[in-house]
Structure 1
Amino acid sequence: MSYKIYLELNTRRLYLKENGITINTYPIAVGKPSTPTPTGDYKILSKILNPGGVLGSRWMQFTWSEHGIHGTNQPWLIGQAVSNGCVRMYNNDVEQVYSRVSVGTAVIIRNSFSNPGQPLNPKDPINKNKSTFIYTVRKGDSLWKISRRYNVSIQEIKTLNKLDSNTIYPGQKLLIPTRN
C-alpha cells in the first residue's frame, strides 16, 4: 500500500491518500503567521507513540527543523493558525493516520490544491458505511443552506467534519454525506 499525506494550509485539511485515492480527510491546526507551517515536499522522518503534553498521542516528524504532525491536548484549537509551524490534529484522527503511514511516507504541503480530494474509498474500513464528496464552501453559504441543498442534517455535516460550531468560511472544504 502506498500512502501519501497532503496538507492544504488555507483550508486547514489533511488528506490521506492510498494509491492516489483519498481515503479520509481531517481538520487540522497550522502554524501561526509568525511561525508558519512550511510548504514543500517532505517525508515522514520519525514516528513517536505517546509523546504526551502538547503533542498529544502521536508524533510524525517531517522536517529536520522538527516540524511534525501530531495530536494535541488543546482540541478546541483545531481549525486555527496557532502552532509554531507544526500540524495539530485531534488525537483520534492522528492515531488513524499514524497507524497507516510509515517512515518515508510522502508529505506534500501547499497553501491550496486545485483538486485535493476525491470521493472517499468506501471499501476502506475507516470509511465503512460512508459515502461522501468534498464540497468547497462559497461566499454566502451556511451549514443550513448546504444541509438543505444536499438533503442532510446540519449535525451530520458537523459530525463528519468534526466541527464544534456552525462557523464556516469561503474556500473551506467540507465532507458531505451522500444518500445511496
Structure 2
Amino acid sequence: MEKIQTKLINFIIFLSISLNLNSYESNTSEIIVDISEQRLYLLEKDIIIESFPISSSKYGEGSIVNSFKTPLGRHIIKEKIGSNVALNSIFVARINTEVKAEIISTLVDSEDDYVTSRILWLDGQEDGINRGEGVDSYSRYIYIHGTHEEGLIGKKASHGCIRMFNEDVIKLYDMVYKGTNVYIKA
C-alpha cells in the first residue's frame, strides 16, 4: 500500500512540474501585430522567432462594436479552437463544418468572410480600449484565423480580425498557448 501511495505522490509531483513548465513557456512568448507592415511577429524572450504576413481590417483600426475595425492594444489568446482540424476547413460560430474552403489566390474580395483552419480568440486587456461595454474584443469575436482569400494577405481586407495564410495560422497555433500576450499596433 505504501508503494502505491509513493508512486501516486511521485506522479502528482511530475504532473505538477509538467504543468508549471507549460505555463512558464506560455509566459515567455508574445505576438506583435504591426498593422502598418501587415505582419505578425512571434517573439520568444524578446527575440523574433517567426514573422508572418497578415491582413487586418479594410475598415481601419478601432474597437467600437459593429465597426468591423481591427482593435489596437494589449490582448491575450483566450481560446484556441481547431486542434487537428484539416487544412482549409471552414468554421461557423467556431464549429468545424468539415467543409473545405476553396482558396482564392488572386486579389479578389469575395462576398464571403470564411474563418478557416484555426482560431486564436483574442481577449482585450485594456478597459475602455478593447475590454468592456461597446469595445470588447472578445465579445466582438476578434480572432487570428485562416482565410480562403489568401490572395489578399498583406493588404487590409478583413472585417476586423487578423487573417493569415492557412498553413501559417496552423504553424502559429502550434507555437502559442492560451494566455499568450498579443499586442496590436497601428
What TM-score results when the alignment is normalised by the length of structure 2? 0.57
More contact order relative to length (CA 8 Å, sep ≥ 6): 2
Q: Match of 2:70?
A: 37
Structure 1 segments, 4+ long, off by >2 Å, are none
The answer to whether residue 45 in structure 2 is matched with residue 19 in structure 1 is yes
Percent of aligned pairs sharing the same letter: 37
Offset, 1:100: 0.9
Q: Which amino acid aligns with 1:28?
A: I
Offset, 1:35: 2.4
Q: Match of 1:83?
A: 158
Within 5 Å, give how 1:1-180 maps onto structure 2.
1=25, 2-33=28-59, 35-49=68-82, 50=85, 52=90, 54-62=114-122, 63-64=137-138, 65-111=140-186
Distance 1:18 1:96 in 2: 15
Distance 1:55 1:21 in 2: 29
| CA offsets 1:101-146 (integer angstroms, 9 cap, x no match) | 11110000001xxxxxxxxxxxxxxxxxxxxxxxxxxxxxxxxxxx
Secondary structure of 1:99's partner? Answer: helix
Question: Number of residues paired by the alignment?
Answer: 111
Gapped runs of 5+ residues in structure 2? 1-24, 60-66, 92-113, 123-136
- Alignment root-mean-square deviation, CA: 1.3
Gapped runs of 5+ residues in structure 1? 112-180
Q: Match of 2:20?
A: none
